[in-house]
Amino acid sequence: MVEGVMPHTSSAHYGAATAGDPYIPTSGNGGYLAEHYDLALDYRVATNRLSATAIITARALTALDRFSLDCAGLSIDKVTVNGVPARKVSHVARKVFITVPGTIEAGARFEILVRYRGAPHPVRSAWGEVGWEELDDGVLVSGQPCGAQTWFPCNDHPSNKATYRIGVSCESGYTVISNGTLVSQSARSGRTSWTYDVHEPMATYLATVSIGRYRRRDLAASPVAQSLFFPADMSPAVATDFGRLGEMITFFGEKFGPYPFSAYSVVVTDDELEIPLEAHGLAVFGRNHADGVHGSDRLIAHELAHQWYGNSLTVSRWQDIWLQEGFACYAEWLWEEQRGGLTADQSAHAFRNELNKLPKDLVVGDPGPHSMFDDRVYKRGALALHAIRRSLGDEAFFSALRAYTLAFRHGHVTTDAFVAFFAEHTGSRAIGKFIDRWIMQSALPSL
């Protein structure tokens, strides 16, 4: 008998096929937590064909006879649990239901092996198409909020963070960039294999792969290693546009606390993208975001700030997304002031005036799934932070921010936890009132 697995009893124990988040009710799964993903992807760029194996180390939160994984648009060839073939596997829509050979005891760790294949592609969602996306000559992954399931079976919800090993093999001539640290690279028979390790807990939507004909430029080794990947013809433009990256990391480190990961990489694709994409330890920009005259400094600051707010401090439910986007938006204003442009106070007043022209029908603290990326969530979230900063003063405000990012480093955050932490750290009873006015009410307060 496999350790932690007992013979079936008369009553069945089924893990829920949802994380219980009303914003993405069909994503995530109950009954267990994934602790580590070991992904081995064999990919053909020319034909968009994937053959892969995922080994998932998980921990049961309750006794389990059956559980589920998120997996969209891919074919499942084999599933084992603790090395034993699953009793039953059914793939319905975006869920793989796995009946185990025996009951997994509550608290037991178990290993799921899934062999799968297919032509990965984005899935349709309330926010457009998300997931594995073919470029003109390569690949990117747009995982937020439910796109990870398009390229590996997973528990696709930010409340379940895990460590990763991501291995990708594809045609030589392409560069593969993924999260974490590149630990090996080898070529054989016209194909090159790349392996990356992620040691910090990472949400599934932040896992990514970028494949393209890129050049690499290492920008600096401190305060953290910074690397830039880009098409050869864009060398002059990207050198200018990302030339301030080290300065930006240093500045945000002073305001927010130490950069939370060991390195930061930027990928500039040969394709145009509507918006840049943040991922754990890196960001992806389109050709249109590099103009050679610093036209995207605001976006560069925003995506970098997500390394603290979103990637290290991750919301445990999408309702609280202002804790990621509001902070990243406020980072834009801080950088603008640092570079000698508008002060954060001037930006706050300007955007408050613009918001006043828009409908006052959105509650930032619960915007609803269709409006969670509404610009009002970003701007009002930033305005809430500015109002708190004005109340506390710079020294107390930034001291609390640095303590906040340290206390919740690589963990999860909620609005209630933010209010409680800031109130206790600063001794201010007004924090809750600011959040109530700016975040929990639809009416627009004055500054």
Domain with CATH 1.10.390.10 in the chain: 314-438
**Burial class, 181, CB count within 10 angstroms (exposed 0-12 / middle 13-18 / buried 19+):** middle
**Burial class, 182, CB count within 10 angstroms (exposed 0-12 / middle 13-18 / buried 19+):** middle
Instruction: Find how far residue 37's CA is from the centre of its chain.
Output: 15
> What CA–CA distance (Å, rounded) separates 267 from 252?
20
CATH number of 214-307: 3.30.2010.30
> What CA–CA distance (Å, rounded) separates 157 from 146?
7
Q: Can you name the CATH fold of 314-438?
A: Neutral Protease; domain 2 (1.10.390)
Nearest 5°: phi and psi at 388?
-65, -40
pLDDT by residue for the chain (447 residues), tens only, comes to 344 555 444 458 999 999 999 999 999 999 999 999 999 999 999 999 999 999 999 999 999 999 999 999 999 999 999 999 999 999 999 999 999 999 999 999 999 999 999 999 999 999 999 999 999 999 999 999 999 999 999 999 999 999 999 999 999 999 999 999 999 999 999 999 999 999 999 999 999 999 999 999 999 998 899 999 999 999 999 999 999 999 999 999 999 999 999 999 999 999 999 999 999 999 999 999 999 999 999 999 999 999 999 999 999 999 999 999 999 999 999 999 999 999 999 999 999 999 999 999 999 999 999 999 999 999 999 999 999 999 999 999 999 999 999 999 999 999 999 999 999 999 999 999 999 999 999 999 998
Helix axes 245-256, 322-338, angle to 10 degrees: 120
- State how far the alpha carbon of 157 is from the alpha carbons of 206, 314, 363, 441, 442, in Å: 10, 11, 23, 27, 27
Q: How many CB atoms lie within 10 A of CB 357?
A: 6
Give this prediction's pTM: 0.96
Q: Token digits for 345?
A: 């106070």
> What CA–CA distance (Å, rounded) separates 86 from 110?
13
Give which of 362, 388, 385, 354 is closest to 440, Cα–Cα.
362
Domain with CATH 3.30.2010.30 in the chain: 214-307
Q: Token digits for 39?
A: 């992904």
